[in-house]
């Protein structure tokens, strides 16, 4: 067979092989932005886990860091997955965990998943009963705004403190956000409402002495 006749066949084989390769892998890529300070977030760690059919345990596949433009990219071999999971982490930013169903993944197009990460900040409540009279002394703190969906966060609602209280409570919040609250000391007129502005990456102290 002459080279002239062989060339179309070789090109066809290369094309079929290329298509077959593409169909056997997923491309997962995207960009991570900074929700607090605006702009793209470099140096964030993005971890990829796969979950085989019927399994609740993730298999670690790879980990990458976002570049100067906040971009990341993975190649994942096609297999029988229930889902994949992306975990985004960066120091002093709130972690993101995202589950993506296998049925939502494409082998023909890039799977573009963009995220925004929020900087951490903290409120430090200093609570001290300076003249305790009995174990029935009661101080009530009602937190009514601020971040609540993280391990370091404090729930909104009432918290009660009794007796000779001398404690410190840290509540995480998103940077550049306010945390507001009400407080009461039972049995006297010491009560009120206030808020603190949480500066990114910093701790703001608020004292309750009663």
Q: Write the pLDDT tens digit of every residue in 109-168.
A: 999 999 999 999 999 999 999 999 999 999 999 999 999 999 999 999 999 999 999 999
C-alpha neighbours within 13 Å on the C-beta side of residue 9 = 6
Q: Given this model, what pLDDT does residue 4 score?
A: 52
Q: What is the pLDDT of residues 50-65, one digit of tens each?
A: 999 988 999 999 999 9
Q: Which fold has domain 120-209?
A: Immunoglobulin-like (2.60.40)
DSSP string, 9-25: HHHHHHHHHHHHHHHTE
Share of the chain above pLDDT 70, in %: 89
Question: Which residues in the chain are classed under CATH 2.60.40.1120?
Answer: 27-117
pTM of the model: 0.83
Kindly give, in sequence order, each residue whose CB lies less than 8 Å from that of residue 7, ignoring residues fewer than 6 positions away.
none
Q: Which fold has domain 27-117?
A: Immunoglobulin-like (2.60.40)
């Amino acid at each position: 067979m002459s080279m002239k006749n062989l060339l179309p066949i070789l090109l066809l084989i290369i094309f079929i092989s290329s298509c077959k390769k593409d169909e056997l892998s997923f491309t997962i890529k995207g960009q991570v932005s900074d929700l607090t300070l605006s702009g793209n977030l470099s140096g964030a760690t993005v971890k990829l886990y796969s979950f085989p059919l019927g399994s609740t345990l993730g298999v670690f596949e790879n980990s990458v860091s976002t570049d100067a433009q906040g971009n990341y990219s993975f190649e994942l071999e096609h297999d029988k997955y229930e889902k994949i999971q992306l975990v985004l982490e960066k120091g002093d930013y709130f972690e993101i965990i995202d589950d993506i169903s296998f049925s939502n993944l494409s082998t023909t197009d890039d799977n573009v998943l963009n995220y925004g990460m929020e900087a951490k900040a903290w409120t430090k409540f200093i609570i001290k009963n300076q003249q305790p009279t009995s174990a029935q002394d009661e101080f009530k703190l009602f937190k009514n705004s601020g971040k609540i969906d993280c391990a370091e966060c404090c729930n909104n609602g009432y918290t009660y403190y009794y007796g000779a209280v001398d404690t410190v409570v840290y509540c995480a919040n998103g940077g550049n956000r306010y945390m507001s609250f009400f407080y009461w000391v039972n049995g006297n007129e010491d009560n009120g409402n206030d808020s603190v502005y949480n500066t990114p990456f910093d701790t703001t102290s608020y004292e309750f002495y009663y």
